């Protein structure tokens, strides 16, 4: 079972997730970090930045990228990660990998990205958000549980959810290159974060529903090492919330992430 940690707010989750990420990276022979964009991971990034660790040796892999945004577009995930992660945390931008969403060579973008991850020795710890439709990365409902990095078509729901970052909803790209569910599942540890009531249904389905391509986040149930950090609102539809709290309060001291 994934460890479900219910906390007061995103800041508290960010502190705990920062501990877990730094612990994993410092113990890894090759420190490789799977990073996510969106609002959800920001409190974790802030908490890590505040700790002033030297992360210049860490190799990072983004989950996904939009297809077809011009190079340097402020909402391309390469630019977002530069702004929100690379500079504040002192990562080496040359060690931050993002799928290639440019139109040229798109057919091989997935394969090339898979090779980059494999050449780096795989991903040690992967940060994940979850979409209101249950997506992880940009693996929309229906994505194969075994999928690898490839081009996907975004749902209209995801385009609407992300329209807030663009001047007009029409500007949100229709396609992306995303790590597959099979790719994500190979990371050695997964940290899934979710905040707010809007994520409650997706979290309940991912944590307690059936494992199904209809809820891509449900892949966490097949992974041997997962921590889910949620605030009270995102946890509000979990049937076994009391048990998760009890298990966390009684966690054996040796059982660190």
Instruction: Rank residues 31 and 38 by Cβ distance to ligand PGA and give the closer one.
Output: 38
Instruction: Rank residues 57 and 169 by Cβ distance to ligand PGA and give the closer one.
Output: 169
Contact window for ligand PGA (CB under 6 A) among 21-29, 37-45, 75-83, 112-120: 37-45
Instruction: Label each residue of 55-110 as H, E or C.
Output: CCCCEEEECEEECCCCCCCCCCHHHHHHHHHHHHHCCCHHHEECCCCCCCCHHHHH
Taking the C-alpha atoms of residue 141 and residue 203, their distance in angstroms, rounded to an integer, is: 14
Give the active site residue among 15, 65, 135, 189: 135
Contacts of 149 (CB under 8 A, 6+ apart): 99, 109, 110, 111, 113, 114, 117, 177, 178, 179, 180, 183
Instruction: Rank residues 86 and 130 by Cβ distance to ligand PGA and give the closer one.
Output: 130
Give the active site residue among 65, 140, 161, 231: 140
Query: What's the DSSP call for residue 86?
Result: I
Q: Is 178 in the site for ligand PGA (CB under 6 A)?
A: no
Lookup: tokens for 54: 């030297």
Which residue in the set 6, 17, 35, 40 belongs to the binding site for ligand PGA (CB under 6 A)?
40
Residue 38 Cβ, how far from ligand PGA at the closest point, in Å? 3
Integer-rounded Cα radius of gyration of the chain: 17
Q: Is 34 in the site for ligand PGA (CB under 6 A)?
A: no
Lookup: tokens for 220: 């966490």
Using the structure block, give the residue that is written with the tokens 């440019």.
102
CB 85 within 8 A of CB 35: yes
Q: Judge whether 54 counts as a catalytic residue.
A: no
Q: Is 38 in the site for ligand PGA (CB under 6 A)?
A: yes
Q: Is 39 in the site for ligand PGA (CB under 6 A)?
A: yes
What sign results for the dihedral spanned by CA atoms 128, 161, 153, 45? negative
Q: Judge whether 140 counts as a catalytic residue.
A: yes
Give the active site residue among 133, 161, 189, 231: 133
Q: Judge whether 135 counts as a catalytic residue.
A: yes
Contact window for ligand PGA (CB under 6 A) among 15-23, 35-43, 106-114, 118-126: 35-43
* Contacts of ligand PGA in 62-81 (CB under 6 A): none
Q: Judge whether 64 counts as a catalytic residue.
A: yes
| Interaction pattern, residues 124-163, with ligand PGA; x per rule: CB under 6 A | -----xxx---x----------------------------
Taking the C-alpha atoms of residue 46 and residue 247, their distance in angstroms, rounded to an integer, is: 27
Binding site for ligand PGA (CB under 6 A): 38-40, 129-131, 135
């Amino acid at each position: 079972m994934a460890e479900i940690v219910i906390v007061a707010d995103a800041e508290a989750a960010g502190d705990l997730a920062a501990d877990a990420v730094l612990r994993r990276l410092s113990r890894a022979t090759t420190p490789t970090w799977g990073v996510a964009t969106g609002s959800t991971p920001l409190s974790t990034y802030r908490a890590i930045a505040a700790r002033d660790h030297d992360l210049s040796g860490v190799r990072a892999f983004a989950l996904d990228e939009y297809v077809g945004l011009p190079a340097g577009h402020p909402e391309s995930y390469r630019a977002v990660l530069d702004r929100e992660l690379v500079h504040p945390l002192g990562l080496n931008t040359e060690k931050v990998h993002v799928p290639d969403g440019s139109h040229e060579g798109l057919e091989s973008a997935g394969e090339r990205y898979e090779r980059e991850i494999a050449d780096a020795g795989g991903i040690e710890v992967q940060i994940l958000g979850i979409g209101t439709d249950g997506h992880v990365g940009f693996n929309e409902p229906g994505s194969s549980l075994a999928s690898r990095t490839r081009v996907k078509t975004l749902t209209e729901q995801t385009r609407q959810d992300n329209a807030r970052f663009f001047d007009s909803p029409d500007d949100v790209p229709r396609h992306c290159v995303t790590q597959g569910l099979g790719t994500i599942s190979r990371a050695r540890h997964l940290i899934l974060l979710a905040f707010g009531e809007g994520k409650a249904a997706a979290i309940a389905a991912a944590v307690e529903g059936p494992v199904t391509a209809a809820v891509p986040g449900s892949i966490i149930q097949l992974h041997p090492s997962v921590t889910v950090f949620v605030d009270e609102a995102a946890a509000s539809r979990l049937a076994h919330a009391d048990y998760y709290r009890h298990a966390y309060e009684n966690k054996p001291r040796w059982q660190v992430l």
